[in-house]
Structure 1
């Protein structure tokens, strides 16, 4: 179904048209094969980068496209209707560019054109095996060695693009306990002592599976400190607020794809002499799916517009991430139900969408964390 969108400029309409064209030409024919083999689509991402889709919300003078977040999240949504792994990869890469774009030194910012153009792929190394949701408790440690370089030791976990990234944002402890002791370092993939591990075996997003990154006295040049020492946690939270909008957009796109497929199936599949969509039980189910998706999209765009206006948006981002990903899980579950037995076989994409939806309730802060954030805002 074509979504009726209110976009801010004619350029934004052209950008969505380009995204749909690229999704049809570059993504649709590859998704099943790449997901089945678990192969990372690096060249696809490079193509999207050269088309201008990997630096959309960043300023043109830095090599980005200068698009508002309101437009960027709808591009992500469009990509997710075809291939969630690609949309999630674009979201993670965009998040990975934020530390240098907003906190980097002039020398570090010289990398931005290649970052935002997709020639350099990024990874955001915050989570750890024992500290996923509790990011302020991370234990990866960085100390200044006698040579003047940072020496980083620890293990990062669930790192998207691990083993494929060209640069890593390493969040590590350079000071005392708590968030004020955390700093951000920008490490090249070839950093001695930085070792990506075997990729995780996932139930979904198999072509973009994350992996641990082991840091064994990894030596990062002193001038690769991003922002001030002790500012790393604030940098991470700024990035995650924006990243939650990206995951919400991915969820809306996935849910829209599932609804469109289920509605098409319900129009064509006949039982008892009529299309199954004419039975009230299924018709009402589809109506609820469509309504929930529209509500999730509206919540997402409202949060994005607040960000674009320079107003506080963290709570609305948490609401959008929470609601949109819960909707994606519900809608993909119902899509499988509409298809019946056909929904349980891999010949139909509903089976893959159902598996993929689950991870969206976990990444960029679990939905339980989002509820905590929202509750605290209400209770003071």
Structure 2
């Protein structure tokens, strides 16, 4: 695994073929394709990085890239949820449901209380994401924080966007507003770059000091 390397495979490289574009629930602006490689030889000059074998930049290096990308996916989930919350607040107010951030939730309507709960969950996801991103920017080890942010933000993104659809009823479910789109888009953010279950497993390993062989 220490000898794993990354290559750039050009689109006109013999043997590379795009078989089909996938039809997806969300993020349809970003194409996902099935690609096959048949007798596809890649020249040495298309190797990314040094050809020397380095245990720190092989499989371990490939996995370390997730420490940078997982906070970015968490940020996408946080942004998607924020857009849903902002629009939902406006739609609730138009329907005569006021959300007061300064009053206890139990003294407000059920819809307003639910909205405040979603806001609290969103704030927690945002803070974890910003911590993981800051550590990545400052080149600090953040494997634990990156997985914590991804696990929290991925779940919160899905929960918040779907709850916003429900709070707005038929209007939230229709294509008249973007709430239904954001709920579809947010689901993948809890899946790619490592699923919810994988993130929780990584967090447990880091906290308990166990290896992947010891805790599966």
Normalised by the length of structure 1, the TM-score is 0.50
Q: Which secondary structure does the structure 2 equivalent of 1:316 belong to?
A: helix
SS of residue matched to 2:112: helix
Distance 1:192 1:232, change over 3 A: farther
- Are 1:191 and 2:13 an aligned pair? yes
Matched, 1:233 2:54: no
Cα distance in 2 between the residues matched to 1:340 and 1:311: 44
CA distance in 1, matches of 2:52, 2:199: 28
Distance 1:349 1:333 in 2: 12
Residue aligned with 1:208, SS: coil
| Alignment-derived partner of residue 72 in structure 2 | 246
Q: Tell me, which stretches of 5 or more residues in structure 1 are unaligned?
A: 1-178, 270-274
Query: Is structure 2 residue 122 aligned with structure 1 residue 293?
Result: yes
Determine the structure 2 residue equivalent to 1:335.
164
**Deviation digits for residues 16-54 of structure 1, max 9, x if unmatched?**
xxxxxxxxxxxxxxxxxxxxxxxxxxxxxxxxxxxxxxx
Aligned alpha-carbon RMSD (Å): 1.6
1:1-380 paired onto structure 2 within 5 Å: 179-227=1-49, 228=51, 231-269=57-95, 275-277=96-98, 280-380=109-209
What SS class does the counterpart of residue 182 from structure 1 fall into? coil
The 10-residue stretch of structure 1 (218-227 or 316-325) with the greater mean CA deviation from structure 2: 218-227
Structure number having the greater strand percentage: 1
| Other structure's SS at 2:29 match | helix
Q: Figure out how many residues of one structure are paired with residues of the other and give that number.
A: 197
In the TM superposition, residue 234 of structure 1 has moved relative to its aligned partner by 3.0
1:328-349 CA deviation, whole Å, 9 max, x = no partner?
Answer: 1111111011101211111111
Partner Cα distance (2:18, 2:112) in 1: 48
Taking the aligned partners of 2:60 and 2:36, their CA distance within structure 1 comes to 24
CA deviation map 1:278-297 (0-9, x unaligned)? 65211111111212212111
Q: Is residue 202–residue 209 contact of structure 1 (8 Å, CA) maintained in 2?
A: no
Greater relative CO (CA pairs within 8 A, separation 6+)? 2
Distance 1:301 1:207, change over 3 A: same
TM-score in terms of structure 2 length: 0.85
